A and B are shown apart, each in its own frame.
Chain A
């Protein structure tokens, strides 16, 4: 402190300035530096001189890679990846890619279009209810896959394509078509981009969503053609209004075959005249337009840019993107190859972009549950949490998909994100313990009607007053954020029993207050155990432990609480946990 006193031979002003500088230093050196990356501790030249073939990822690098590709890693995965080089790690991730989901498809997915029509014609009101139930089961099905898939990288890509080649179930209505589209995205997730784009153009859900179904010779509907150029395939500035008009006429006459549910061309409704699109002329049909798009350089650049935004940062570096696009074209538009290019690029690993992305609700919810080894929670709970944070699976807000980035965070969603961590995670643990206990006991008395339990209607005094008490997952893509009024049977209460046992499990029972209270200590204990387990993995190295969770040093006093979950929670509640 003596240093701070004026009185040396230097002029007073200088002394005060240096004092100020000293104070500044003292404060900022002691307080955690903002967004200072953990990697500051490791050799400075890591990113410049690192040889991807020999340099080990370390915990920080492993967390970065897994956060951005597979919703974050479990403790074991993290330790394993920390020992790998970049090339090894990326090779390993790519080797997990799948083309099929492991979660059994909902039972109704086997119905033929004719069977569905028959059901509809029998009783329209009942069919409406059934439709809503199926839509909900579809959401639960994908949430289960997101939670449990052995290849979360595949699901990450399916989600990417879902947000890019959007369709909203709200408009499409048919859960069968939306499921088919989801399957399509998985089949081509990391495959041949040109096959993907061709499949999307004639995908039944897309045909319904962007009105191709209504487009006919003489009155073409421009909806799909416009989005194919603007949002899906090229980006603005690479086509003209005339291109759209001409392309639209090439998409006339495509209809969903009522017998097969697949697209077919009805020639008499198709405008077969000669068209000029994107500088090429011919008697074009849908596949020709898709080929025209694919032949443009802008097409590969558009997708490369999409990958930058998905995996690196909100603002693409055009030079790098253009290099990726060249590479992408050389690989004959192999998505897997593009992904490999991205994940091995200096940009991806650059310290500059660490923590530059805000986790989506799926990232946060699925990622937290997977990391905490809680992926066995009923999928309905996870789905509801995701939806409360503003992301409705199968119902992006509009054709442009989720805007993402800072749009994810406002006062409401930020508080809901915090609630997810401090309230819904513990509640999820209670459900987990409960279902594990139930395995050895009798099944619940009245599984078909969770509302039968009168006590459960009165959820005051339980740890989560607002979210997890509702057992139904999401029925309503827009209204789900609110606790359903129990007088709203049509929207929020399923009145048809789920036939499938596996599905039933995904719709958590309403918990009795008494049971909540009884299981709460067990849940706390389990979370404490988890915490101890995590800490042991990193021995006493606090930094390593934090690195597993956060891209930066925490900006809050993250470890101030005493109990295990309190300390874990403190880390998860730090704003930097919202970043990846």
Chain B
């Protein structure tokens, strides 16, 4: 099913109050981006779907500089052959396992940000994902997640939750600051669990510890109530999701988003990217699972008119060593490209591919600070007044169609 942007506006307009009409044109009308109610509306209106590629995705075999001789030298055994590459522009192609995303690319809905990373890269899974999820520098420890800081002044009791983590995985970037984060395999199971949570009225003399427990129980029941209601009355997107672990997670995400469950962030994960050996098979299987799920998710969000208000972004702890290892795999590396998709995305490539001729001990040198992605999400997607501690001064990327209008309308006021 394909619909053009006008059609979405039309479809969406029927079921939403005017200021919630999806569509980039209207966003520019937000006169003051720091206005509280406008912020609240945007956080209610726009959805961020984060996809964690667990284990460290190999960027070089995801977005492939296939004409580069150095690529062939670095990857004599596991370098992709032309038949396994979909050429996107003259020098860059993508792994053919990502074929399901071709439509999004052609519609200009997909942007690859190249060379994301940070200085003094850490190659430990645990530490590096912590850096990515907290937004810290390499040698600095921050306790809370970058999204937890972004959202901490914008709580809203009407939300079902501040974030929903689907299918396991930790709360990652949503950790800390008393954010209300739910973890669920699927909404039905969550409701079932929540139903077993007993109702407890609050007693005046309840102690702080008990009071907190009872508050959280209430939160769970409230969230389950909202989710139940929304899902029951939600539209049917009619899209069949791939029967893979990640496909099922995407299907749950589609149900939640399409039915309008009020929650600004959804986090999904797909594991297994730690491809130290036999990479070609494993990696293409993973990318196929990833792209199959994301493509179905895109179709479902398009069918229900929410694609314009959705932003999908991948992230991972690191890319992999540019030079392949002795077991037809790759070891822990550094910078990598990441995919951002959505109806408001300016399709194409952003940033610069790391120079294969200039490696640091066989590792790529990052070209774009990963926090520019966060700045984009904070300032361009949710149009929040920038907090110093979210993107740490990194500049937003020009990858969204609203980019030109929004800052002007803000500063023009």
- Name A residues whose Cβ lies closer than 8 Å to a Cβ of B: 33-36, 125, 170-171, 314, 355-358, 397-399, 405-406, 409-412, 414-416, 418-419, 422, 465-466, 476-479, 481-485, 487-492, 552, 555-557, 573-576, 578-579
Contact = CB atoms under 8 A, between A and B. Distances in A.
B86 to A, nearest CB: 23
B165 A412 contact: yes
Contacts of A556: 198, 200
B269 A418 contact: no
B334 to A, nearest CB: 18
B126 A488 contact: no
A575 B210 contact: yes
Contacts of A36: 205
Contacts of A314: 208-209
A579 B168 contact: no
- Residue picked from B180, B216, B273, most chain A C-beta under 10 Å: B216
Interface stretch (B93-101, B217-225, B296-304, B377-385): B217-225
Contact of A485 (B54, B125, B198, B216): B54
B208 A490 contact: no
B408 to A, nearest CB: 40
Contacts of A409: 212-213, 216
B127 to A, nearest CB: 6
B193 interface: yes
Q: Is the interface of A mostly helix, strand, loop or mixed?
A: loop
Interface residues of B, number: 61
B167 A406 contact: no
Interface in B276-291: 276, 282, 285-286
B161 A411 contact: yes
Nearest to A395: B126
A419 to B, nearest CB: 7
Nearest to A170: B126
B200 A575 contact: yes
Contact of B327 (A125, A488, A492, A576): A125
B220 to A, nearest CB: 5
A200 to B, nearest CB: 20
A573 B213 CA distance: 12
B185 interface: yes
A561 B197 CA distance: 15
B141 to A, nearest CB: 6
Contact of B207 (A356, A397, A399, A491): A356
B271 A555 contact: no
Given A411-B181, A411-B223, A418-B193, A482 B126 contact: no
- Residue picked from B161, B194, B212, most chain A C-beta under 10 Å: B212
B55 interface: yes
Nearest to B133: A478
- Residue picked from A36, A414, A466, A575, most chain B C-beta under 10 Å: A575
Interface of B: 54-55, 124-127, 129-130, 141, 143, 161, 165, 167-171, 178, 180-183, 185, 190, 193-194, 196-198, 200, 202-210, 212-214, 216-217, 219-220, 223, 245, 269-274, 276, 282, 285-286, 325, 327, 331
Nearest to A414: B216
Contact of B183 (A171, A405, A415): A415
Nearest to B270: A485
Contacts of A125: 276, 325, 327, 331
Contacts of A483: 168
A485 B161 contact: no
A170 B274 contact: no
Contacts of B206: 34-35
B127 A170 contact: yes
B220 A411 contact: yes
Contacts of B286: 487
B216 A410 contact: yes
B248 to A, nearest CB: 12
A355 B207 contact: yes
Contacts of B127: 170-171
A426 to B, nearest CB: 15
A491 B203 contact: no
Contacts of B143: 397-398
A478 B125 CA distance: 9
Contacts of A416: 183
Given A35-B210, A479-B170, A491 B125 contact: yes
Given A34-B210, A355-B207, A478-B125, 8 more contacts: A356-B208, A411-B161, A415-B183, A415-B220, A418-B197, A477-B126, A488-B271, A573-B198
Contacts of A481: 168-170, 183
A555 B200 contact: yes
Contacts of A482: 167-170, 269, 271
Given A406-B209, A422-B196, A482-B170, A414 B220 contact: yes
A485 B327 CA distance: 22
B272 A466 contact: no
B216 A487 contact: no
15 contacts: A35-B206, A35-B207, A314-B209, A358-B212, A399-B141, A410-B216, A411-B220, A412-B165, A416-B183, A478-B170, A479-B54, A479-B170, A485-B272, A488-B271, A556-B198
A476 B125 CA distance: 9
A123 B156 CA distance: 53
Contact of B55 (A33, A398, A491, A573): A491
A478 B130 contact: yes
A557 B180 CA distance: 27
A446 B278 CA distance: 25
